[in-house]
Structure 1
C-alpha cells in the first residue's frame, strides 16, 4: 500500500493508514543542543583529529585556527538560523535549498546530504571498531576483530534510531556531560601543574598562527565542527522550533568552539609550546598524545577513563548522525524524491523507522565490504570517508548560504539586511575558499593517491546530479508535489 502524500494525510492516524508525521513537541533547545554536540564528538576530535591536524598544520597555533573556523561558522549561522525561523522541516539543508533555489537544486542538496552523512557513518564505524578492539586488547588482553565491534555497535545504534528521539537524546546527554568533564579535568590538571614549561599564550601569537601550514590546519578545524548544522533537522520535533533551532545552533557552536580552543591550548601547554609538534611526531600513533599527557598529569586511571570515553564519544556521534540521516531519508521519501516507504513513521514511537532500518543495512554492507577486502579501518575507511563527508557539508553550506540570500530577497520576514544578505554572502565566500583548499589538499588529508583522491572527490557531484535528476523526474510525474518540495511542516 502506498504512503499518502502530505496533502492527503489526515490529521489523525487510522489502523489502515501508515503514519507519516514525526513526534511533535518532543525536543527542547537543550536536547537539540546535546544531539548536535554529540554529532561533533568533541572528545574523539580532541583525541583523534586535532593531534594529526597540529602535526600537519601549524602546531601550537591550532587553537587560533579553531576560533577562525568558529567565526566563519557563526557568520553562516546568522542567515541559517534566520531562515530556520521561516522553514520548519526535517529536510534541513535540503528544505532550505529547495525553498531558496528551487526543487531541482533541493533534490541535489538532499542527495549530497544523505551521501555525506551515510559515508561519515561508514568511516566512524571503522574508527569505533579499531579503537574498541585496541582498548579491549590493551586493557583486558581480549583479541576481538575490529569489524565485530563495529557490527555490535550498529545493532544498538539501530535500536536507538528505531525508538523515540527523546530516548536517544537522554542517552546522549549522559555521554556528552561525562566526556566534557573528563577532558576538562585533564585541562585543569595541566594548568594546575604549569604545563611542561609554564603557562604562556604563545598559541595565540602571530608567529604560531603563521607557522607550518595553517591552511591544512584550518581544514582539520573546520571538519571538527561537523554536526552543528543538524539543528534544523529536528525542527519538526522541537517544542518551539522558531526559538529552539536558533538557540541550539548558536549554543552548540559556541560550546564546541570554546571547548576545542581551550582544550587544545591546554594540550599544547602540556606538551610544551615549543615541543608539541616534535612530541606528536615522535609518537607511533599521533592520537596517543592525549593519553601521553593523561599519564603524565593525571595518572593511568585517568588514561583508562579517557580511552573508554573516547569510544563513548564516537558511539554518541554515531547515534546522532544515525538520527540525522534517518530524517533526511524520511523527508525525501515523504516528498517523493525516494521510495514512499522511507516517509513512513512508527505508529507508536513516531520515529522514521523504515529510514532507520535502511541506513543500518547500508552500514552493515559497507563495513562488511571494507572488512572483507582487508582495508585499514582508520587510515583508509575513516580517513577517506570522513574527509569525503566534509566536502559534502561544505558544498551544502555554500548552497544554503546562496539560498538564504535568494529566499529573503523578496521578503526579509522582519530580519535585518546584515543577517539575510551580508553575513550569508561573506560566509559563502569564506566557505568557497575552504572548499577549494579541501579539494586541492584532499590527497594530503586522506593519505590516498592523487588518482584515488580524484575518484573520491568525483562522487560528490555525481550524488548531486542523481538528486537533481530525481527531482526532475518528480517535476514531470507530479508537478503539484514537486512545487511543494521543502515546504514548511510546522
Structure 2
C-alpha cells in the first residue's frame, strides 16, 4: 500500500554550511553536549541562590517533591521532543520544531521570541555574575572594581571562546561543571554523614506537601531550575551523530540535573532542619547554603563555593552565548535576519561572525543598564531573567503542541506513546506551568508594575516582529519564504519509506 507520507529518521547531512562556504566540524559527543547544557543551568548558582528562594516562596519544605515532579514532566516532554529531532535537521531547537509543526509564520514569530528571551537571560544572568565577581574580587584579590567591569570581562571571554571552535567551550564548561558539582556533593555528603540538623527524614517527599504553603509557586520555581536543557538540539550541526547523540544528551541532561537537584534540595532542608527551613531561608536566602557549607564542612568550603559560584555563573554566560549564537546563525541561514550571520568560519568551523555580533549586542546592552542606573540584582537581573523565563515557558508549551501536530500530519513508525500520549501529557503539564507563570509574572519580575508591563510588551513585540517578517517574506520574497522549511522538506523527501 502507498505510505509515501511515512517518515524515517533524518538522513540529511549533519554538516550544514552557511551559504555553502564551509561546514561545522562535527566533533561533539554526548558528554560534551551534556556539559554545555548542564553548564547553562548553572547548578551551583541554582543551589546557592535559587534553592533558598524556592523554600521561602512556597512556604513549605516540599521543594524536593516538586523538583522530582518537574524531572518527570520534562522527561516525558523529552520523548516527543527528541523523537522530532530526527526529522528536523535545523539547529534552531524549539523554534525549528514549532515551525515544522505549526507553520512558518508562527515558527518565525517564536524564533524572534526565543532570540529576545535568551538575550535577556544572557544579559540578566551576567549582571548577577558581575556582583558576585565584584564581591569575590574584594575578598580574595583585594581588587575593588565596579560590578559591570566584571560583566564586560565575562562577555569578552565568552566572545573569545564562542568565536572559536565549540570544542574549546566544551572543555572549559566541562572543567567548571566538574568543580562546581564536586563542592556541592562534598557539602551534601557532609550533611548526610552528620545526620542533618534534626535527623534525616523523608518528610519533604510526603504527598501532603502538595497542599501546604503555595505549591503552585513551588512547582513553577522548581521548573525554572531546568531552563536551558533544550540546548542539546541547538548543537545538532556540531554533534558527531545527531540522530543518536541529541536524544541521549537530552535524557542524560534532564534526568541528571533533576536527580542532582532533588537530592541536593533534600540535603539543604535536612542541613537547616525541616522545622527551621522556611524561616531561615526567608531571613536571608543569599547566604543560607553558604552557611551550610561553612557549618558542615568548614569555612574553607564557603570560600571555595564563593569562588566557584563566580565560575559557575561564567559557565552560564558562555553556554547561553553559544546557544544564542546558534539561534542567530540558524535565522541567518533562513534569511530571517542578514544572511551574513548564517556563515561558518573556514578557520574555526564555527559561526564566528554570529558570535562576534552577540558579543557586541551584549556589551551594548550592559552599558545601557549602567547608563540607566539600574540595580544589577533587584532590577536588571530580576526583570530580565523573569521576562526570559516567561518567554521560554511559552516556547516549551508551544513546542509540545507542535510535536503533536507534526506527527499527526506526518505519520512515522514511532509508536503512539512517542507521537501522541507523551507529547499530550507533557503539553498539559506545560500549560499548567504557563498559567501559573502568567498569573505570577509580577512576582517573577520583582513586583514592579511598570517593569511587568514593559517586559510583557517586549515579549509580545518580539513575537509580532517575527510574524511580520514571515508575512513580509511571503509577499515580497516568496523564494526565501519557501526556504524557511527547506531543510525539513528535503529531509522528509530523503527519508520517505514504504511500510508493508
Q: Say which is worse superposed, 444-453 or 461-470, in terms of deviation.
A: 444-453
Are residue 406 (structure 1) and residue 427 (structure 2) matched?
no
State the distance in 2 between where 1:441 and 1:410 align.
Answer: 35
Cα pair 2:383 2:451 within 8 Å, conserved: no
Distance 1:22 1:443, change over 3 A: farther
Q: Write the deviation string for residues 234-263 of structure 1: whole angstroms up to 9, x where unpaired.
A: 111111111111100000000000010000
Asked whether the 8 Å contact 1:20–1:343 carries over to 2, the reply is no
Whole-angstrom CA distance in 2 between matches of 1:96 and 1:22: 22
Matched, 1:270 2:271: yes
Equivalent residue, structure 2, for 1:305: 304
C-alpha distance in 1 between matches for 2:408 and 2:211: 39
Question: 2: distance between equivalents of 1:271 and 1:398?
Answer: 35
1:100-159 superposed Cα distances (whole Å, 9 cap, x missing partner): 111111111110110111000110111000111112223344321100110111101000
For 1:224, the equivalent position in structure 2 comes to 225
Once the 2 structures are TM-superposed, how far is the Cα of residue 20 of structure 1 from its aligned partner? 4.9
CA distance in 2, matches of 1:206, 1:354: 51
Equivalent positions of 1:296-375 (< 5 A) are: 296-375=295-374
- Give the Cα–Cα distance (whole angstroms) in 1 for the partners of residues 91 and 206 of structure 2: 42
Alignment match, 1:458: 457
Q: Is the 8 A contact 1:95 1:485 kept in 2?
A: no
Residues 337, 470 of structure 1: 8 Å contact kept = yes
8 Å contact from structure 1 (residues 108, 464) kept in 2:
yes
Spell out the pairing of 1:120-159 with structure 2 (5 A cutoff): 120-159=121-160
SS in 2 for 1:60: coil
1:290 equivalent in alignment to 2:292? no
Q: How does 1:35-434 map to 2 (within 5 A)?
A: 35-283=36-284, 286-434=285-433
Structure 2 Cα separation of the partners of residues 460 and 426 of structure 1: 27
Contact 1:18/1:347, CA 8 A, preserved across alignment? no
Q: Which runs of 5+ in 1 are unaligned?
A: 1-10
Deviation at 1:18, TM superposition (A): 6.5
The number of residues matched between the two structures is: 475
The answer on 1:471 being equivalent to 2:470 is yes
Q: Which segment is superposed worse, 71-80 or 144-153?
A: 71-80
**C-alpha distance in 2 between matches for 1:137 and 1:280:** 26
Please, what TM-score do these two structures have when normalized by structure 2? 0.92
**CA gap 1:142/1:94 in 2 versus in 1, 3 angstroms:** same
Equivalent pair of 2:125/2:381 in contact (CA under 8 Å): yes
Distance of aligned partners of 1:376 and 1:46 in 2 relative to their CA distance in 1, 3 Å threshold: same
SS of residue in 1 equivalent to 2:62: helix
What SS is found at the alignment partner of 1:59?
coil
CA distance in 2, matches of 1:425, 1:12: 32
How far apart, in 2, do the equivalents of 1:439 and 1:127 lie? 24
Separation in 2 of the partners of 1:441 and 1:335?
A: 36
Contact 1:330 1:343 in 2 (8 A): yes
Spell out, residue by residue over 1:168-225, the C-alpha distance to the aligned partner (whole angstroms, 9 max, x if none): 1111111111111110000000111111111111111133343211111212111110
Any runs of at least 4 consecutive aligned residues in structure 1 with deviations exceeding 6 A, and if so which? none
In structure 2, distance between residues paired with 1:439 and 1:457: 10
User: What is the match of residue 6 of structure 1?
Assistant: none
Please report how far the alpha carbon of residue 19 of structure 1 lies from its aligned counterpart in structure 2 after TM superposition. 5.6
1:252–1:208 CA distance, 2 compared to 1 (3 A)? same
Is contact 2:190–2:296 with CA below 8 Å preserved after alignment? yes
How many angstroms apart in 2 are the aligned matches of 1:479 and 1:137?
A: 57
User: Residue by residue, what CA displacement relative to the aligned partner does 1:298-327 show, whole Å, maximum 9, x if unpaired?
Assistant: 111111111111111111111111111001
5+ residue gaps in structure 2? 1-14, 492-500
Tell me the equivalent position of 2:6.
Answer: none
